[in-house]
Chain A
Amino acid sequence: MTIKFTTASAVRNTTKVLIVDDDPISLELLANFLEDLGYSFERASDGKEALAKMRLFNPSIVISDVEMPEMDGVSLCREIRKRRSIQYTYVILLTYRSEQESVLLGLDAGADDYLSKPFSPEELRLRLNTGQRLLSLEGRDMMIFSLAKLAESRDEDTGEHLERMREYSRIIAEELMSWPKFAPIVDGQFVELIYLTSPLHDIGKVGIPDCILRKPGKLTPEEFEVMKQHTLIGAETLKASAQAYSDATFLWMAYEIAVNHHERWDGTGYPNQIRGEDIPLSARVVSVADVYDALTSKRVYKPAFSHEKSIEIILEGRGTQFDPDIVDAFMKLESRIREIALSYSDRDASSSISKLPLMYSPLPSSVVHNTEVT
């Protein structure tokens, strides 16, 4: 096969690669291939040096030999996975075909891929492309979640509300996959998409004026009308993005959640008062997840309710506020839901007190109106 690499001067790849090998010949070859492919790279001759370089160079991809003095590739991989980093590091281990055990150890330690020595430049290029594809997906997911957090931060200090809510949404969707009624709609992609896009449900809040969004007391009916617009603002923004980027199909689910997550099963929600199965399934799932998390979180107008009390309130909304099937799925997952709720540490932190305006709450009105605003 004739290999045609684009020269480094033609295209500069912004992905940073750290190459780790105690064999200078291997390092030189790797460096040369990476140079041809336009990558930025650094070299290290063992695991310890690699870890030190990672702190300064911050590579997205690490290509490491397995057998090295000081710290071997498997240990390096474990150390990389222990690091708290805002970005994922894609790890490729270099092994020999005969070293099946090393491959298994490496994969178990968190390596993403391996390359058998001596490798061809084409093999290396393909493995790097795979890594970059994965990293670009992570970049997209991170960007989506960051935008959601940014919007959330404008009016609320709700700790890890978005993290919990997307976990609840994901496991409810996973449960629905095994229900014959939902099997034609809910598949692995649906589960992945709801996890990815549910945090965008309140993205439209960025378009609500501060005087309403940050109002600590009860909203007037006029103010509430403005507040309701966040569903439409979010939906319009996401729809425009979905139309502009036809490949980004996930934006359509984000759109249907944003516009519909305050609709109610009995048709008394907003903004369009649609009812029952006219409300997209994704929004019906997110609605339950959102309310449960609001109930179990401390708000300016209420304490954090216990899990039991919150479940009671969710059950009261079965068939009125919520899709009965979704509530049934939720109840089936009760212990896992509770585990997720407990797994986040901000539950009782004072910083989790919300400045959410009273009338804007997704909670049932009985909860809101029976509780004193402090």
Chain B
Amino acid sequence: MQATNGNASVGLPVLARQRLLARCLGKQELADKLVQLLLSGLPKDALEIQNAIDSKDMKQVATLSHRLKGAAANMCADTLSSAAAALESAARHHDSEVLPTSWFTLQQQIDLVLQELTS
């Protein structure tokens, strides 16, 4: 599946499965396990980030989006990783103008990945 939402993600795969499999040294079982971890973690991550934004805890927003950035990069979900990096940056700089947009984009990417993984 190709991403269709968000300018940065146009034409890029939501999850580069072949690259992920190579990263797992060809172990399909490991790749599946990582997918399950991402699938189960994403809704929780989204909720925690929302709570941190609601309570204006920018440090927590940065920490959570940083973790998501890493997880997504490990999963070869590059657009999700980029979106998380943008939110992390906005939180670190206390940029209240950019932050809502970044969070919106990240939510879109999270939804796309969840759709991809559950389809």
Contact = CB atoms under 8 A, between A and B. Distances in A.
Interface of A: 3, 5, 21-26, 28-29, 32, 36, 65, 67-69, 96, 98, 117-118, 120-121
Interface of B: 23-25, 27, 30, 33-34, 37-38, 41, 63, 66-67, 69-71, 73-76, 85
A3 B25 contact: yes
B75 A25 contact: yes
8 contacts: A22-B67, A24-B41, A26-B74, A28-B30, A28-B37, A67-B66, A98-B85, A121-B23
B41 A26 contact: no
B24 A32 contact: yes
The prevalent SS among residues of B at the interface is helix
A139 to B, nearest CB: 30
Contacts of A120: 23
Instruction: State the 5 A-B residue pairs at the shortest beta-carbon distance, nearest first.
Output: A25-B71, A118-B73, A67-B66, A23-B71, A23-B70
A182 B32 CA distance: 64
A26 B76 CA distance: 12
A23 B25 contact: no
Contact of B74 (A3, A29, A36, A67): A29
Nearest to B27: A32
B82 to A, nearest CB: 12
Nearest to A120: B23
B27 A23 contact: no
Contacts of A69: 63
Contacts of A68: 63
A121 B27 CA distance: 13
A190 to B, nearest CB: 45
